[in-house]
Structure 1
Amino acid sequence: MSTAVPRAFSVLELLVTSPSGLPLGKIAEELAIPPSATHRIVTELVDLGYLRSDSEGNYALGLQLVSQALRHLASIPLVELARPTLDQLAELSGELVRLSIPDGDHLVWVAKSQGARGGLRYDPDAGREARFARTSSGLAWLSALPEDQAIARLQAQGFERDDDSRSSGPRDLDEALAAVREARERGFAFTDSTHELGIAAVAVPVSRADGTPAAVLSIAGPSVRLTRERALELVPHLFRGREDLAVLADSTLHA
C-alpha cells in the first residue's frame, strides 16, 4: 500500500494538537518522514484547503477540514436533534453544556452550547477527546458499560496526565475503577481539576431502551462557580435532559 495516504493523515492528526501550526522541519521530525516527502504532502494539502500556511512558514489545519468535519457532525441525527436540549440546559445552568458520542474506542465531544454570558467562561472547541479516567464524561460513559469493558478501555488509554501537570485525577486502574463505580452508583460523575486545572464538570450517560450507552450529556465550568453543591443542584436537570436524548437516541437508531 502506498505510504502517501497514511502520511497525509499523520500530518493532519499531528496538527490537530498544534492549533498555531508547526514548521515543515518540525512536522518531518515528529513524524519521521523525509523533509522532501513532507514538503510534497503539505503542499498538496494546502492546495486542497486542508492545511494553510502563514508568513512564518508554519502549517496549520485549514478551513476545508474544519468545514467538512462540521458538515459530518451535523449529519449525525442525534447531534442535530440534541441542540434544543443542549441550549435549554446551557440557559438554565449558565455554563457550557456538551454532548459526547463514541468514536470507536474513544469518546469525543461533538456538540456544545455555551450558557455563560459574562465573567469567566470555559469554552473549548468541539471535537476534542474526553479522556476516560480524567473527565466526568469519560467516567459517566464507562459507568454505563459492563465492568470488563470499562477496564479494557481504561487499560488501553492509560492514565497519563494531560498538558496541565498540576491537574489531579486517577493515577492507576484501581483509582479509576473506584471513580467509575461511584458514578455508576450515583447515576452521574463529577470531577474537579482532573482534566484541566480549575475546571469542574458533571455528566450523565445517555442510554437506549436496551441499556446500551449512546452518548454522554455534561455541564462544565470554572470550579469557583461549578462547585460540588452547584453540580448536585444541576443533576436533576441533567437527568431530564438525558431522558429527552434517550428517546432521540432510540428514534435515530431505528430510523
Structure 2
Amino acid sequence: MKVVNSLIENCFAILELLATEAQSMRLSDLADRLELQRSGAHRVLTTLVGLGWVEQDDATDFYRLSLKLPAIGYRFMQAASMPDVLQPILDKLAKDSRELIRLAALASENLTTIAHAQGAQGSLICRSRTFPVLPLHVSASGKVWLATLPREEALKRALESGLGKPGVYGPREIKTVDEFMSELDRTTTRGCGIALEEAEEAVGAVAAPIITASGQFVGALAIVGPAFRLSETRLSELGEQAKASAAELALVWPLRSVAGPDARDGDAA
C-alpha cells in the first residue's frame, strides 16, 4: 500500500528534486518522478512560486528552483564561518596535489558537494562534471561513505544510486552486486575510495572519509584528475594526501558552534 506523504513532505521533496536536477521541469515529469498526483503537485508548486522558492517560466510553464534556497544556504555557510575554516585546507591540498579538490558533506542521507579548490593550471585543468548529489556506487567519495555502513545498508543505497543499471555513467561503471561488494572491501582495506572512469569517461578520483573524534562520518574529501594522470603510484600518493587533509577537516567539524552563543559568552568572560 502506498503511503501518502504529508503536504510538508511533498513540498520538500519537490524542492530537493528541483535542486538535484538543477534545471527546469514540467509539472507532469515532476509529479511522475515523485509519484504525486498532478493536481496535488500543482497546488504545492503554486504555493512555492507565491513564496518565491520556485519560479515558473511564462513561455513554457516549466518550473525551476529560484535562488532563494541557495542564498539561504550561502548565508548559513558564511554565518558558520565554513569558508574561512575549510577553504585554506582545500587550497593547500589543491596546491600540493596540483589537481581539483572537491569536498562533499553528508546531509539528508546524501553526499552533497559544498566546496572545491583548483590546483591544476592551464591545459592541465581537469574538465570534470559536477554532481550536486554524488552517485554513490561510482564515485570515490560515495564509496568511502558506503564502506563505513553495514554491508546490507550499503548495498541498498548503492542499488538506489543506480547499481545494476549500467550505461548511465562512465565506461568502467560497476555493474554487479558481487563486483560492488568486492570494491567495498578494497575501499575498507585502503582507507580511501578510488573511481577510475566510473562516474564519467576519462576522469578519475581518490577520496578519503572525514570522520569526527566520535567516529561519525560527516563527509568526504576527493582529489579529481584526468584518468591518464592517475597511475597506481600516483593514486597511492594522492590517497595519503587526501587522508591527511581529511583528518585536518575532521578536527574543525562540526562547524555550527564556531560562532554560536557559547563563543560570545566566552568572549564576554
Aligned CA RMSD, in angstroms, stands at 3.3
Alignment counterpart, residue 113 of structure 1, candidates 107, 117, 127: 117
Q: C-alpha distance in 2, partners of 1:166/1:126? A: 13
Alignment counterpart, residue 216 of structure 1, candidates 217, 220, 225: 220
**Cα distance, 1:78–1:174 mapped onto 2, change above 3 Å:** farther
Q: How does 1:83-122 map to 2 (within 5 A)?
A: 83-103=87-107, 105-119=109-123, 120-122=125-127
Q: C-alpha distance in 1, partners of 2:135/2:5? A: 32
Q: C-alpha distance in 1, partners of 2:99/2:60? A: 37
- The answer on whether the counterparts of 2:20 and 2:132 sit within 8 Å (CA) in structure 1 is no
- Report the equivalent of 1:249: 253
CA shift at 1:221, angstroms?
2.4
CA shift at 1:182, angstroms?
1.5
TM-score (norm 1): 0.79
Letter in 2 for 1:21: S
CA shift at 1:60, angstroms?
0.9
Q: Does 1:46 align with 2:39?
A: no
**Cα distance, 1:215–1:29 mapped onto 2, change above 3 Å:** closer
Q: Does 1:71 align with 2:75?
A: yes
- The answer on whether the counterparts of 1:220 and 1:226 sit within 8 Å (CA) in structure 2 is no
Deviations 1:46-101 (A, max 9, x none): 23221122333221111002212333445567675222111111223332212223
Letter in 2 for 1:128: V
Q: C-alpha distance in 1, partners of 2:21/2:246? A: 34
The unaligned stretches of length 5 or more in structure 1 are none
Letter in 1 for 2:87: R
CA shift at 1:185, angstroms?
1.9
Greater Cα shift, 31-40 or 64-73: 31-40
**Cα distance, 1:253–1:28 mapped onto 2, change above 3 Å:** closer
Letter in 2 for 1:101: A
Q: Secondary structure at the match of 1:82?
A: helix
- Report the equivalent of 1:16: 19
- The answer on whether the counterparts of 1:122 and 1:220 sit within 8 Å (CA) in structure 2 is no
Q: Secondary structure at the match of 1:239?
A: helix
* Percent identity between the two aligned chains: 26
Q: Does 1:234 align with 2:234?
A: no
Q: Secondary structure at the match of 1:5?
A: helix
Q: C-alpha distance in 2, partners of 1:188/1:27? A: 36
Q: Secondary structure at the match of 2:224?
A: strand
**Cα distance, 1:2–1:242 mapped onto 2, change above 3 Å:** closer
Deviations 1:104-154 (A, max 9, x none): 5433333222334433533555742351x22111222334x26xx243222
Q: Does 1:200 align with 2:204?
A: yes
Q: C-alpha distance in 1, partners of 2:212/2:20? A: 33
- Report the equivalent of 1:153: 154
- Report the equivalent of 1:129: 134
TM-score (norm 2): 0.76
Q: Secondary structure at the match of 1:216?
A: strand
Letter in 1 for 2:44: I
**Cα distance, 1:208–1:37 mapped onto 2, change above 3 Å:** closer
CA shift at 1:190, angstroms?
1.5
Q: Does 1:4 align with 2:11?
A: no
Q: C-alpha distance in 2, partners of 1:65/1:2? A: 22
Q: C-alpha distance in 2, partners of 1:111/1:18? A: 19
- The answer on whether the counterparts of 1:203 and 1:216 sit within 8 Å (CA) in structure 2 is yes
Q: How many residues align?
A: 251
